C-alpha cells in the first residue's frame, strides 16, 4: 500500500479509484463502460490532495526547474508552442526550455489549461501510487494533472487511446461523456483522424453528464468521447492513463519476428507495378501463404520474450537512493537486511547451453549472470522469503552471501530493508 504523506490514505490504490470490488469492476466496467465513483462511495473524505494538491502544483511550476515536455499548455482546444512559456534557466542552468513562472501566470490568468505531465516520474506521492496501481492492474501507467481556470475548457471533445482514471483533486469540473465512434482504438488510431465523427456524436445527447467534486473518481475506457469544463472556480484533476495491452500488440510482435523467415524477406520481382492489382495479386497470395506457414511455427517463448521487453521497459521500478545504496554496500555484513527493489520485474533461469554452470537474472533493462550455486539464494530473496544476508540459502559461507548481496545492491536489484 502507499504511504504518500504523513497521515495519508493507506488504502489499496485501486480502491481509491473505483467504488466496486476489483473482481466486480473488471467484470462489469474494465474496457467496457464508464464508472462514476463518488467520494462518499469511496470513503474518500480527504480526496486526493495527498497525491497532488494545488500548493504542490504551484511548487512544481515555480521552484522545481520544470522543463518541457513535463508541461503542456492548452487554450481554446489547441496546444500552445513551448516557446510561449519557456526560456533560459539563468546563471548556472545552461538550458533554454525551463518553464517561466511569470509567463505561466499570464497564460493561466487568460484562461489556459496547464497540463503537468509525467508525474509518475517526478512527484514522489504519485510515483508510489502509480507503481502500486500498475502492479494491481499489470499494465503500464502514466499520470498527468490538469489545472483549468474557472469556466474554461482546455480541450475539445476527443477520445483517448488508453483507459483513464480521473481523480478530482480540487474544485469541480463538468464532464460530458459520449459513446465511442471507434471501439477500442489503438495508439495508431487517434481521434484526429475521425474529427468529423467525433464532433457529430458530441452534438448529440451524452451517455453520461456529470460534475466531479473533490474526492470523486471517473473511469473511462479508451475510445469513449469526453470533454470537461471547470465550473465556478478553478479545477485540478489527475488522469491516470492505462496503456492498453491488446491483441494487436501480439500481431506487431509476430510481424517483427517474421523477419526471420527468408520467404518473407525476399524482394518483389523486378519491374513489378505496385499500383496494378493484377500484378500484385500473385505476390500477395504467395506472401500470405508464407506468412501463414511461419505463423503456424511461431514460438510462444520468442513471442513472450519480445513482449517482456516491450512491457517491462514501459514501467520503471521504484526509485533507489544512490547515496544510501552506496553506504549500504560499504557497510554490508551478515546481519544486514535487504529487500527486493519495489516494482522490479524479473525472471530467473538457466544462462543457456554455452554457460551450463550459470544462471541469468533478466530485468527490465539488462540481463545479469551469476554462478549457478546462487540460484537458490536469488530465488529465495526475490520471492521475499529471506531478508537477512546471513540467511541466504545454498551458499557455502557468509563471505559468499555478502558477495552476492553486495552485487544485488550494486545492480539495484536489492535495497536496504
Long-range contacts of 321-328 (CB under 8 A, 24+ apart): 324/416, 325/409, 325/412, 325/415, 325/416, 328/409, 328/415, 328/416
Residue 11 pLDDT: 86
- Is the Cβ–Cβ distance between 229 and 152 less than 8 Å? yes
Interatomic CA distance for residues 240 and 407, integer angstroms: 35
Paired with 73 in beta bridges are 114
10-residue mean pLDDT series, the chain (417 residues): 49 95 96 96 90 97 93 92 92 88 95 96 95 91 95 89 97 97 95 94 96 97 95 94 92 94 94 94 95 94 91 89 96 97 94 90 95 97 96 96 98 96
pTM of the model: 0.89
Residue 8 pLDDT: 57
φ and ψ of 396, to 5 deg:
-70, -40
Read off the C-alpha cell for 209: 453528464
**Domains annotated on the chain, with CATH:** 14-242 (2.60.120.650), 247-311 (no CATH), 322-416 (3.90.930.40)
Nearest to 53 by CA among 1, 107, 125, 127: 125
H or E stretch covering 296: helix 277-296
- Is the Cβ–Cβ distance between 393 and 377 less than 8 Å? yes
Long-range contacts of 360-365 (CB under 8 A, 24+ apart): 361/413, 362/308, 363/312, 363/413, 364/312, 364/313, 364/315, 364/316, 364/317, 365/313
Residue 314 pLDDT: 86
Amino acid at each position: 500500500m502507499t504511504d504518500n504523506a504523513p497521515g495519508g490514505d493507506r488504502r489499496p490504490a485501486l480502491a481509491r479509484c473505483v467504488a466496486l470490488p476489483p473482481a466486480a469492476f473488471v467484470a462489469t466496467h474494465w474496457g467496457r463502460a464508464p464508472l462514476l465513483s463518488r467520494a462518499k462511495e469511496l470513503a474518500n473524505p480527504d480526496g486526493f490532495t495527498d497525491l497532488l494538491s494545488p500548493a504542490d502544483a504551484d511548487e512544481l511550476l515555480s521552484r522545481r526547474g520544470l522543463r518541457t515536455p513535463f508541461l503542456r499548455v492548452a487554450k481554446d482546444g489547441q496546444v500552445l508552442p513551448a516557446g510561449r512559456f519557456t526560456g533560459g534557466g539563468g546563471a548556472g542552468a545552461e538550458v533554454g526550455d525551463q518553464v517561466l513562472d511569470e509567463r505561466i501566470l499570464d497564460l493561466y490568468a487568460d484562461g489556459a489549461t496547464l497540463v503537468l505531465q509525467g508525474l509518475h516520474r517526478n512527484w514522489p506521492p504519485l510515483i508510489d501510487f502509480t507503481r502500486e496501481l500498475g502492479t494491481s492492474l499489470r499494465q503500464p501507467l502514466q499520470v498527468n494533472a490538469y489545472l483549468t481556470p474557472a469556466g474554461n475548457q482546455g480541450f475539445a471533445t476527443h477520445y483517448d487511446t488508453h483507459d483513464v482514471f480521473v481523480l478530482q483533486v480540487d474544485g469541480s469540473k463538468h464532464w460530458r461523456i459520449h459513446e465511442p465512434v471507434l471501439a477500442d482504438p489503438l495508439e495508431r488510431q487517434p481521434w484526429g483522424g475521425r474529427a468529423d465523427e467525433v464532433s457529430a456524436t458530441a452534438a448529440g445527447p451524452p451517455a453520461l453528464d456529470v460534475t466531479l467534486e473533490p474526492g470523486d473518481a471517473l473511469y473511462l475506457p479508451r475510445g469513449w468521447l469526453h470533454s470537461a469544463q471547470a465550473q465556478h472556480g478553478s479545477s485540478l484533476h489527475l488522469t491516470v492513463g492505462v496503456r492498453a495491452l491488446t491483441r494487436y500488440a501480439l500481431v506487431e510482435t509476430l510481424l517483427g519476428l517474421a523477419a526471420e523467415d527468408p520467404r518473407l524477406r525476399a524482394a518483389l520481382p523486378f519491374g513489378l507495378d505496385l499500383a496494378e492489382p493484377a500484378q500484385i495479386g500473385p505476390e500477395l497470395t504467395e506472401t500470405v501463404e508464407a506468412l501463414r506457414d511461419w505463423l503456424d511455427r511461431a514460438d510462444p517463448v520468442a513471442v513472450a520474450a519480445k513482449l517482456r521487453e516491450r512491457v517491462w521497459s514501459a514501467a520503471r521500478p521504484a526509485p533507489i537512493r544512490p547515496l544510501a545504496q552506496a553506504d549500504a554496500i560499504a557497510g554490508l555484513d551478515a546481519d544486514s537486511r535487504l529487500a527486493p527493489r519495489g516494482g522490479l520485474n524479473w525472471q530467473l533461469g538457466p544462462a543457456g547451453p554455452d554457460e551450463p554452470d550459470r544462471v541469468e537474472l533478466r530485468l527490465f533493462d539488462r540481463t545479469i549472470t551469476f554462478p549457478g550455486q546462487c540460484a537458490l539464494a536469488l530465488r529465495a530473496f526475490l520471492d521475499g522469503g529471506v531478508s537477512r544476508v546471513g540467511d541466504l540459502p545454498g551458499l557455502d559461507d557468509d563471505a559468499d552471501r555478502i558477495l552476492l548481496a553486495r552485487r544485488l545492491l550494486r545492480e539495484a536489484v536489492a535495497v536496504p530493508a
